[in-house]
């Protein structure tokens, strides 16, 4: 039985009406209003660091380091980055046009989409809620936040703080589980932003399709790693891979799911990343996921060569498993836990073949910088598809807000971070103002009935243009 008080469905409907009314009245349109709200987001985090850390400790057993690095710091810096760039992002664009349309004042305005909803997950409950919210605020939208019921301390704290710091007529939080989320999805939104599992992502996409609502899906998947043992620094590769897997007990959509490595380098890779049993790592979120991870370790046909010990407080020591094949239980779906299978392959071509047949999430490649690696990297770029391609790092791409972050294929569609968050909640509104003068009208005259042969000849010029050879 949940200890968190859920938002009644009727109240959710009332919130939706209130947010929609606020947007229609234009209250969120002035840039000064948006700037104030973004600064309030930064203040919310800075003035409640201890409370936010405590909520992450309660929900996921997070050490302050694992709370600060991936969550608290990025929320403040992202809000301030949006403030610094708000004028530029919202400035109309004047695209270059053909000379005959040069007097039409062709413009692309940045228009907010309207009233949006952000359905966020439990694994990074704060940053994966606030970063999309920052984009919505910067774009001039009103926004409902629906945090996960599986991170109850974080969700309850959000419901308390958001109305204290932000305009409650424009930004609100509703609490609930499946029934409440289903009701949220039944309402008409101008954009839905969902982060979570593939299975629920399909439900969200289906609900959005009924209303013809645009949607961003940030889903998970099996992010593979290939280690080129012939060229890379094995010790550095092992440390970075293991660090990425240990974060939040492996409950990260971009965590390395499994590692391909040439068979002759497998032992060196395993020995290169010693487990740190002294640090306080995060725990598995709940008993169901804890038992799921234990079941995977029991059912795998591979050999657990390091770690894997299960504690009494939902903690499982990161496990390194060798001798794993593609039909192993560990490879049935995204692991989303502290288990790392090592899969031996003959070479990069074999790894690419396996990657091509999998999900298009993130591809991690550990290479040492050399001409040989440039050739291998080009091969991977050309022959694989993924949301991101990361060389010599895991997890680091989420800090690069200058490029879009998002999945491909079954890992979802759409993207965000930095300006791309703003773009997600913005409609690129085209505009022209065609002069109603005699000169322009003289040019337009040929399009009016009755149609004539000279006019048809004039408008058929493109059909007679010489097409160059390939």
Whether 218 is a known active-site residue: answer yes
The span from the CA of 85 to the CA of 89, in Å, is 6
Whether 47 is a known active-site residue: answer no
The span from the CA of 416 to the CA of 402, in Å, is 10
The upper half-sphere exposure of residue 379, i.e. CA atoms within 13 Å in the direction of its Cβ, equals 18
The span from the CA of 319 to the CA of 19, in Å, is 47
Residues 6+ apart with CB under 8 A from 439: none
The span from the CA of 302 to the CA of 304, in Å, is 7
Contact in structure between 314 and 287 (CB atoms under 8 Å): yes
The span from the CA of 98 to the CA of 429, in Å, is 19
Contact in structure between 131 and 399 (CB atoms under 8 Å): no
Tell me whether residue 312 is exposed, middle or buried, using C-beta atoms within 10 angstroms of its C-beta: 0 to 12, 13 to 18, 19 or more: exposed
The span from the CA of 153 to the CA of 466, in Å, is 67
| Three-state SS at 193 | strand
Contact in structure between 22 and 142 (CB atoms under 8 Å): yes
| Residue of 218, 263, 317, 332 marked catalytic | 218
User: The tokens of 17 are what?
Assistant: 């009406």
CA–centroid distance for 183 within its chain: 24
| Residue of 253, 280, 333, 377 marked catalytic | 253
Q: Which residues are catalytically annotated?
A: 218, 253
């Amino acid at each position: 039985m949940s200890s968190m008080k859920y938002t009644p469905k009727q109240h959710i409907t009332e919130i939706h009406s209130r947010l929609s009314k606020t947007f229609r009245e234009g209250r969120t349109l002035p840039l000064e209003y948006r700037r104030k709200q973004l600064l309030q987001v930064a203040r919310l985090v800075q003035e409640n660091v201890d409370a936010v850390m405590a909520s992450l400790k309660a929900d996921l057993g997070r050490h302050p380091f694992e709370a600060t690095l991936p969550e608290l710091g990025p929320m403040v810096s992202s809000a301030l980055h949006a403030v610094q760039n708000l004028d530029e992002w919202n400035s109309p664009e004047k695209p270059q046009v053909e000379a005959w349309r040069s007097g039409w004042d062709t413009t692309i305005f940045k228009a907010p989409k309207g009233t949006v909803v952000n359905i966020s997950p439990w694994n990074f409950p704060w940053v994966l809620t606030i970063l999309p919210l920052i984009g919505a605020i910067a774009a001039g939208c009103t926004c409902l936040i629906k945090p996960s019921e599986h991170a109850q301390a974080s969700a309850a704290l959000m419901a308390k703080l958001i109305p204290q710091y932000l305009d409650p007529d424009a930004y609100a939080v509703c609490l609930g589980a499946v029934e409440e989320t289903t009701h949220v999805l039944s309402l008409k939104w101008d954009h839905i932003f969902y982060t979570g599992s593939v299975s629920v992502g399909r439900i969200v996409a289906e609900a959005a399709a009924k209303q013809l609502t645009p949607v961003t899906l940030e889903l998970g998947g099996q992010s593979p790693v290939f280690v080129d043992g012939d060229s890379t620094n094995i010790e550095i590769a092992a440390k970075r891979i293991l660090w990425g897997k240990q974060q939040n007990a492996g409950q990260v959509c971009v965590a390395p799911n499994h590692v391909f490595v040439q068979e002759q380098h497998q032992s060196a890779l395993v020995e290169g990343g010693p487990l740190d049993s002294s640090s306080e790592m995060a725990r598995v979120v709940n008993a169901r996921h804890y038992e799921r991870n234990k079941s995977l370790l029991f059912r795998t046909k591979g050999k657990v060569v390091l770690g894997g010990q299960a504690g009494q407080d939902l903690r499982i020591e990161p496990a390194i498993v060798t001798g794993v094949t593609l039909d192993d239980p560990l490879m049935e779906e995204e692991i989303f836990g502290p288990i790392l299978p090592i899969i031996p392959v003959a070479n990069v071509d074999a790894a690419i073949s396996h990657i091509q047949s999998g999900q298009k999430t993130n591809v991690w490649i550990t290479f040492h910088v050399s001409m040989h690696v440039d050739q291998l990297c080009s091969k991977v770029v050309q022959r694989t598809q993924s949301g991101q391609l990361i060389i010599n790092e895991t997890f680091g791409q989420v800090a690069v807000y200058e490029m879009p972050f998002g999945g491909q294929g079954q890992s979802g569609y759409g993207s965000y971070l930095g300006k791309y968050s703003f773009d997600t909640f913005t409609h690129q509104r085209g505009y022209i103002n065609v002069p109603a003068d005699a000169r322009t009208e003289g040019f337009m005259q040929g399009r009016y009935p009755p149609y004539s042969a000279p006019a048809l000849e004039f408008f058929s010029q493109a059909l007679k243009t010489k097409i160059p050879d390939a």
